[in-house]
Structure 1
Amino acid sequence: MATVASEAYSLDAARGALRDVFGFDDFRGIQANVVGRVLAGRSTLAVMPTGAGKSLTYQLPATMIEGTTVVVSPLIALMHDQLRSARANGIAAATLTSADADWRETLDAFRAGALDLLYVAPERASQPAFRELLSSARIALFAIDEAHCVSEWGHDFRPDYRLLRPLMDAFPRVPRLALTATADAHTRDDILVQLGIPAEGLMVAGFDRPNIRYRIAHRDSIVHQLVGLMRSEPGPGIVYAPTRAKVEKLAGQLAAASGRPVLPYHAGLEPGERAANQAGFVASEDMVIVATIAFGMGIDKPDVRFVAHAGIPKSIEAFYQETGRAGRDGDPAQTLMLWGAGDFAQARQRLSEVPEDRRGSERARLDALAGLVETAGCRRAVLLRHFGEDPPEACGNCDNCLEAPGVTDATEIARKLLSAAYRTGQSFGLGHLQKVLTGVGDDRIVQRGHDRLSVFGIVDAEEARLIQPVARALQARGSLVATEHGGLQLGGDAKAILTGERSVEIVVPPQSSRRRGGESNPVGDPLFEALREVRRDLARSAGLPPYVIFHDATLREMAALKPQTLRELAEIGGVGARKLEAYGQAFVDAIRAHER
């Protein structure tokens, strides 16, 4: 299929090949410019959003230029997915990985000049034996996929990517094409240097994915929140969880609560099960996969309708890349990030494990993510500005644009909270600090003399509801830092806040619908008392304290909303999948009996 390389390639010829090979009438976005540079033999770094057709920019030239295009890719799953796609389009392609039993046939085909594309991992490409192999055939192009991995400023640094330039330098007449969807200005500059691409070779497409709706919320009842998303989006979805154990647990909970097919995916699964789960998801029109973050890099599934994070991603770049796996077909898609202050506390603790020369950039990355989470403005604008764009102030397709949150100056309550942390010795958690600030003198506080501190009881009832959201905001920005024992100590700009040099604004927490039953227990309400009796009976049978079954707040909402079915009960705050299954029917029966 390949023809002799020439400087005289025209985009008309490329469009003809595009129609013949891929069936498209024309290029999209900057594809034409990138392909034009490749066909002219000029090295290029193309920064294009997920779904913009990056792989076409090297697959199409590979069918036109004599020789083999060598593609360096970070994951075997990604290579095999690209292989299937290329072969489906009639492109002569092969992979050379540890998972390939046909490696001898691949080597023979490569040496014979019978391959348009050869996919390899950076670990193999950096070996002297591979350089010798390349010397035995004609090379048309080096294509470096996920090129941000070459940069220590990138969000997914891979040291073996640093060894690619010596390989490519051994073939000085072969052009280079580096591709990534997630690289800010600093990372782009570093990629150019590390891969030996001239600055004039940088091509950046817009980062905006207008079909994706971004939503970020504090993690409250995670199963309840995710099931709500699943009900709003019946198509395929990905839920990212931070650990293998949480993947397994959440997959089971979501399957039980939603009635949808939900499967886990992580590296600890038996290989056959992992492969079957991935294949099932790729083929499904409604499956949800709960996975660790590696899942998705090797998945070319255009109809993913939502991507959710059960905790914070590593960075804005990681968030952009992972959410970018939704809506690649251009149809509307949703994303949801559920976060907690503990996520940022753990992330800041892990900074001590990062090599010192990279610690500053990782801290800046985490601060930028905190800014995205805490903003009261347009989420999309924050994302696009991070990548160097100048977007409109509002996009109309994120949670803050669709329902503008209120913002309040919380500097005073922040100063009180920081002062309480300092004056109690920077070794107590938020629960203890709340009691001190609101004047709750329990035995622990009295024994330590914290009831005699100047901060004891200085927060009134109106301010008290802001303590938790302010604490989350301060932990997200690093002003409060969790210790290894769960205490809170001052960090970051805490001193500047205490001295009045810095202000703290937070999004006003909405008055929760869960409080419709009233803040205090409705003593004397027959239904509330009946629900408490049910709880006591269940607790006695299970050998548990009553609050383990359900908190009073949950019973208050049940008494106020009177759910008549298990599905309606599942909408109540605090009713998770496991408790719904174990106890739900008893409470529904009690409510129905009361309504008769």
Structure 2
Amino acid sequence: MLPLLTQSERSKAVTEPEYYGNPVSRDHLEAKIYQRTGFTARQFQLEATLAILAGHDVIVHAGTGSGKTLIFAAPHFVLDNKVSIIISPLILLQQDQQNRMKKMGLNAIAINQEVHLEPEVWNDLASGKYQIVLLSPEMALYNEKVGKVFASTAFQKALIAIHVDEAHTISLWGGDFRKAYKGLGRIRARLPKGIPATIVSATLRQNVKNDAMATLGFSSNPLDYVDINIGNERTNVFLGIREMKFPASSFKDLSVLIDPDETNTFNIPKSIVYIDDINSVTLGVITLNSWLHVSLRKHGLIMPVHAWMPASYRSNAMAKFASGEARILICTEAAGMGCDIPDIKHVIQFGLCRSIDALVQRIGRCWRASDGTGEGWLIAESWAWDGKGGATGATSRKSADPILRGLITERECRRKYLNRNTQYLAKIVAIYATQNQFPALPTARSQPSQDQQEQQL
């Protein structure tokens, strides 16, 4: 058996590791992945999996929808009776990944406050019977029962890796919002020495990557870890930026999503609208629903999703959206992270979001199907442009993400601007040189009159 390696030994690791005397070749791994999933593995998935099997810490920077989840599962296609921990930020994402793992034939479990686990399940966890254990950093750090599982001899012997999914959240949420993210290193310190860690995200700017590496205790020597960066290019998704023409509270800039004469549910393009204010989410749903044809207003076609809602509701809303029963989600970050819905035609960020990383992540949820195209739009307040909004606008601009503001005001090539300022290497989307060259949203439709709106409400 090839032992899991310490950081100082990792640079000497062989490319094709052995477990229990059986060589794990690239061809063997590729065949096993195809056998379990029906898909041919991509090169970066094979490289990351082999690196994990060799005991390396791994960084994977790959676009949304590129298949990063397979990296968590693939080691278990060649190793029996082993366990991987996945740190996952949202209950919805944990549930989605649990379902995906089960479809690949793995015994997976999500541990969160929404589920009650019987004593025998905790015993099974401690004995290493679950191959995939999904939980939040808070649950991993502070839950007493989880701590006992992690300390179990059987669990520690079975453990082969700890993965941090959506690792950009370490920087994005690791302050006062979710302090446990800064404590991920303490989780790793409680695990057996030499257990490799994997950092995975579609948005790993250098400072974000450095923060994640420091938090997880990665070596500063590049020979001690494997850094895989395939970029996050989405050439089938167009990015447009436009200034709000109406007050944000009216939501009139979103009227392009609704044809008031349309009576066929499935002619309404599947869309996600992100609004970074929970109260505005609810008002947005009410307003857009009032613009639907009267025959469609009671069908639940437009649904709100945010963190204050029960996980059961959020899960149900995402399921309805995935099936097409719901056509438009208006939501905060609580929806969409890691979701695998291939046919989202429009993703709109309504109002300037907190960071360029948040924008790229959200736009990346658009149109993951292999054919066709989608559109991602940032509809920003007027103050985001220099010289607008008076003193209040100037104050707001100072507090905004400077890279995001630069993207808005860039007049030459936004694609080059992103690569230069984010080190994404790539091109989140096909970005055109000026706003006039963006693919156009549908022409804004006329609004119902005040009398019509009152009748509709």
> What's the TM-score once normalised by structure 2's chain length?
0.78
Tell me, in whole angstroms, the C-alpha distance in 2 between the residues paired with 1:82 and 1:292. 20
1:135 aligns with 2:168: no
**Within 2, Cα distance between the matches of 1:124 and 1:153?**
16
- Which whole-Å CA distance do the structure 2 matches of 1:235 and 1:29 have between them? 34
CA distance in 1, matches of 2:240, 2:455: 30
Q: Distance in 1 between matches of 2:20 and 2:121?
A: 23
Match of 2:99 in 1: 84
Q: Is the aligned partner of 1:67 residue 2:76?
A: no
Structure 2: how far apart are the matches of 1:153 and 1:29? 31
Alpha-carbon distance in 2 for matches of 1:167, 1:245? 35
Aligned to 1:145: 165
Instruction: Measure how far apart 1:256 and its partner are.
Output: 2.7
Amino acid at match of 2:236: N
Q: Is 2:420 the partner of 1:571?
A: no
Bigger RCO (CA 8 Å, 6+ sep): 2
Pick from 222, 225, 235: which aligns with 1:210? 235
Q: 1:153–1:69: structure 2 CA closer, same or farther, 3 Å change rule?
A: closer
Distance 1:379 1:578, change over 3 A: farther
Q: Does 1:403 align with 2:436?
A: yes
Q: 1:79 and 1:220, CA in 2 relative to 1: closer, same or farther beyond 3 A?
A: same
Contact 2:383 2:394 in 1 (8 A): no
For the structure 1 residues 323 and 157, does the alpha-carbon distance in structure 2 shift closer, same or farther, using more than 3 Å as the test? farther
Choose 256-265 or 339-348, whichever is displaced more: 339-348
Residue 209 of structure 1 deviates from its aligned partner by: 1.2
The 1:152/1:334 distance shift into structure 2, 3 A limit, reads closer
Contact 2:244 2:382 in 1 (8 A): no
- CA gap of 1:134–1:578, structure 2 versus 1, over 3 A, is farther
CA drift at 1:227: 3.1
- How far, CA to CA, are the matches of 1:37 and 1:311 in structure 2? 41
Task: Tell me the CA shift for residue 103 of structure 1.
Answer: 4.7
Which residue does 2:47 correspond to in 1?
33
Percent identity over the alignment is 23
- Cα deviations across residues 96-131 of structure 1 (Å, max 9, x unaligned)? 211112353432222333211011110121238434
Which residue in the other structure is 1:177 paired with? 198
Aligned residue for 1:403, secondary structure, equals helix
Q: 1:252 aligns to what?
A: 286
Partner of 2:114: 99
User: What does the per-residue CA deviation read over 1:320-348, in whole Å, with 9 as the maximum and x for residues that have no partner?
Assistant: 01111112224411111111135688898
Cα–Cα, structure 1 residues 104 and 299, in superposed 2: closer, same or farther, change >3 Å?
Answer: farther
Instruction: Using the TM superposition, give the Cα deviation of residue 224 of structure 1 relative to its aligned residue in structure 2, in angstroms.
Output: 4.5
Residue matched to 1:470: none
| CA distance in structure 2 between the aligned counterparts of 1:299 and 1:275, rounded to whole angstroms | 11
What does the per-residue CA deviation read over 1:458-515, in whole Å, with 9 as the maximum and x for residues that have no partner? Answer: xxxxxxxxxxxxxxxxxxxxxxxxxxxxxxxxxxxxxxxxxxxxxxxxxxxxxxxxxx
User: Which residue in the other structure is 2:132 paired with?
Assistant: 117
Residue type of the alignment partner of 2:401: L
Aligned to 2:420: 385
Q: In structure 1, what is the Cα distance between the partners aligned to 2:38 and 2:255?
A: 39
Structure 1 position 165 matched with structure 2 position 185: yes
Aligned AA (2:255): V
Are 1:227 and 2:255 an aligned pair? yes
Check conservation: 2:285, 2:304, Cα contact below 8 A. Answer: yes
Find out whether 1:370 has 2:241 as its counterpart.
no
Q: In structure 1, what is the Cα distance between the partners aligned to 2:176 and 2:410? A: 25
Partner Cα distance (1:580, 1:293) in 2: 35
What does the per-residue CA deviation read over 1:406-431, in whole Å, with 9 as the maximum and x for residues that have no partner? xxxxxxxxxxxxxxxxxxxxxxxxxx
Deviations 1:431-470 (Å, cap 9, x if unpaired)?
xxxxxxxxxxxxxxxxxxxxxxxxxxxxxxxxxxxxxxxx
Higher gyration radius (CA): 1
- Post-superposition Cα deviations, 1:256-303, rounded to whole Å, max 9, x if no partner, equal 324472122223446665444333212216611111232212533222
Partner of residue 33 from structure 2, selected from 9, 14, 18: 18
Residue 350 of structure 2 is aligned to residue 310 of structure 1: yes
Distance 1:179 1:293, change over 3 A: same
Cα pair 2:303 2:328 within 8 Å, conserved:
yes
8 A Cα contact 1:76 1:298, kept in partner = no
Structure 1: gaps spanning 5 or more residues: 352-361, 406-567, 586-596
Deviations along 1:59-98, whole A, 9 cap, x unmatched?
1113323421011111111101111111122111111211
Q: What RMSD, in angstroms, separates the aligned Cα atoms of the two structures?
A: 3.5
Query: 1:319: how far off?
Result: 0.3
The 2-side partners of 1:169 and 1:7 are apart by 29
The Cα offsets for residues 43-69 of structure 1, whole Å up to 9 and x where unpaired, read as 111111111111111111133234210
Asked if residue 43 in structure 1 is aligned to residue 57 in structure 2, the reply is: yes
Compared with structure 1, are the counterparts of its residues 112 and 218 closer, same or farther at alpha carbon in structure 2 (3 Å cutoff)?
same
Q: Any conservation in 2 of the 1:70–1:117 contact (CA below 8 Å)?
A: yes
Where 2:348 maps in the other structure, the secondary structure is strand
Question: Secondary structure, in 3 states, of the residue corresponding to 1:113?
Answer: coil
> Which residue does the alignment assign to 1:334?
375
Q: Kindly indicate whether the alpha-carbon contact (under 8 Å) linking 1:234 and 1:286 is maintained by their aligned counterparts in 2.
A: no
Contact 1:184 1:387 in 2 (8 A): yes
Which is richer in helix? 1
Q: Quick check: 2:33–2:77 contact (8 Å CA) kept in 1?
A: no
- Where in structure 2 are the equivalents of 1:557-596 lying within 5 Å? 571-572=445-446, 575=447, 577=448, 579=450, 581-582=452-453
**SS of aligned partner of 1:99:** coil
TM-score for both structures, normalised by structure 1: 0.61
Mapping 1:499-538, distance limit 5 Å: none
Distance 2:172 2:69 in 1: 24
Mark the runs of 5 or more structure 2 residues left unpaired by the alignment: 1-17, 260-265
Q: Helix, strand or coil for the counterpart of 1:384?
A: helix
Which of the two has greater strand per residue?
2
Q: 1:156 to 1:55 in 2, by over 3 A?
A: farther
Q: Does 1:323 align with 2:363?
A: yes
Structure 1 residues 78 and 21, CA gap change in structure 2 (3 angstroms): same
Residue-by-residue CA offset, 1:393-415 (whole Å, 9 max, x unaligned)? x98x446458349xxxxxxxxxx
Distance 1:271 1:176 in 2: 28
- Rounded Cα–Cα distance in structure 1 between residues aligned with 2:413 and 2:170: 31
Q: Could you tell me which amino acid in structure 2 is paired with residue 187 of structure 1?
A: V
Supply the distance in 2 between the matched residues of 1:283 and 1:347 (Cα, whole angstroms). Answer: 41
For 1:298 and 1:40, locate their aligned partners in 2 and report how far apart those are by CA, in whole Å.
27
Worse overlay, 161-170 or 238-247: 161-170
Size of the aligned set, in residue pairs, is: 404
Change beyond 3 A, Cα 1:5–1:310: farther
Cα displacement (A) at 1:132:
3.3
What letter corresponds to residue 15 of structure 1 in structure 2?
E
